Structure 1
Amino acid sequence: MNGFLIVNGLSGLLIVSSLLVTLAAKPANSARFYALQSFILVMLFVALAGATGSGELYLWSFTALLTKVILVPAIMYRTFRKLDDPAIGSGAVMPTALSIVAAAAVVILCFGVVSRVTLPAADAIKPALAVSLALFFVGLGCIVAQRNILKQVFGYCLMENGSHLTLALLAPNAPELVEIGIATDAIFAVVVMAVLGSRIFDTLHTLDARQLTTLKG
């Protein structure tokens, strides 16, 4: 039971780190906070592996450490640190306080949904499961609400971390091949979106999604 308490406790830090990612002033700083969140996710996987006795989760932790903590943040940091659009700032469309309130409301709503889940495997990890769902919706909100196209990339990364956590919580004995597939998809998606964002900035000299209303060949 103590292992599950650690899992649930670490999951709360994921929500805090997601706010740091979405509210950071510059995308390069968001990359640092994303690396921090991914490291928390790795520690959560290790704690969950100890609590469930799942050897597969230790392999998940190692793969996530290499891809989510090191490789993906490094790609985004090296790409995004050269791109800046002072006209839009952080790109947030809501004040910081309102963003925090909205995130809290999403977490509460997800807790309400998860409380109705009757799966025996989910009884001990319902708080973490609720956070995993909330993390997905926080990422979705970042994609929809952010003006900064680079921040929208982080919205995808938050959604991916949320779905990754959900899978680990509900299927801790899933084979390592599943984790490799998830990690590979994330890496290629981030590379494509980072290159696309760089090309847009080089061509149009803006990172404002609201100005990208016309596709040009």
Structure 2
Amino acid sequence: MNDLMMNNLAGLLVITSYFVVIARQARTASWLYACQSFVLVLLFVVIADHYDASDLYLWSMTAFISKVVLLPTILYIQLGKMRDAAAEKPVFHPALIAVFVAVISLTCLYIIQPVALPMVATLKPVLAVSLAHFFIGLLCIITQRNILKQLFGYCLMENGSSLMLALVAHRAPHLLEIGITIDAIFAVIVMVILARLIFRRLNTLDVKQLTVLKG
């Protein structure tokens, strides 16, 4: 039963990631990212129950505070102060993005099949989703003109790495997850600061306008 629940939650993780990618406004993406992270927290809880890994319950609490509450709130408040309608125009149609996400997910599932790890023998779809999130995050970065939306690509990559770590190293100390979370929070804060500096100086969030470097 746990295997089925984990695989279903992994599928929901991909769906929520897709909505993060296609969201036009950064504020909308921040709430969708909170929903995506909440699904990740549920996965942590089910994995903890499946493997009887008590440390993962602590991981899930840390992830809930940082990924579901803290980071989305920071992003919602800070990114809401910056708006560039021209940069919000999508580069690709959402239907095409859906095709890209599906191809990435199926490709990762195919790549994962030869992996012979007894601990994840029945959870290869979840492992495939954790790998796919790196490429979905990359997709978010390269298909967005808005530099604020590109920031969420990094967040999706980080969620994917956290899921993979929970699967293959679920008995790792809670301190490890805290370290990863702190790194992610500081990385996001730095990227938000850089985005604000760019917007204040150039009054644009469109990467197509950031083509000239001046010494």
Report the TM-score range of the alignment, normalised by the length of the smaller protein: over 0.9
The Cα RMSD (Å) is 1.1
**What one-letter code is carried by the residue in structure 1 that aligns with 2:105?**
V
CA distance in 1, matches of 2:188, 2:87: 22
Q: Which residue of 1 aligns with 2:31?
A: 32
* 1:144 counterpart letter in structure 2: I
1:22 is displaced (CA, Å) by: 1.0
Residue in 2 that maps onto 1:170: 168
* Partner SS state of residue 87, structure 1: helix
SS in 2 for 1:88: helix
**Alignment-mate amino acid for residue 40 of structure 2:** L
% identity of equivalent residues: 51
- Show the counterpart of 1:196: 194
Deviation at 1:102, TM superposition (A): 0.7
How far off is 1:144 after superposition? 2.2
- Compute the TM-score of the two structures, normalised by the length of structure 1: 0.96
Count, aligned residues: 215
Does 2:103 match 1:88? Answer: no
Look up the SS of the partner of 1:41 in the other structure. Answer: helix
Q: TM-score, normalised by structure 2?
A: 0.97
2:53 aligned residue = 54
User: Quick check: 1:72 aligned with 2:71?
Assistant: yes
Structure 1 unmatched runs, 5+:
none
TM-superposed deviation, 1:145? 2.5
d(CA) in 2 for partners of 1:49 and 1:63? 14
SS of residue paired to 2:87: coil
Given that residues 88 and 145 in structure 2 are in contact (C-alpha distance below 8 angstroms), is that contact kept between their aligned partners in structure 1? no
Q: How does 1:1-217 map to 2 (within 5 A)?
A: 2-90=1-89, 92-216=90-214
Question: Following the alignment from structure 1 to structure 2, what is the Cα–Cα distance between the partners of residues 182 and 199?
Answer: 26
SS state of the match for residue 85, structure 2? coil
Task: Give the Cα separation in 1 of the matches to 2:193 and 2:203.
Answer: 14
* Partners of 1:5 and 1:215 in 2: CA distance: 51
- Distance in 2 between the 1:37 and 1:163 partners? 14
Structure 2 distance, partners of 1:177, 1:14, is: 25
Cα shift at 1:216: 4.1
Alpha-carbon distance in structure 2 between the residues aligned to 1:110 and 1:137: 9
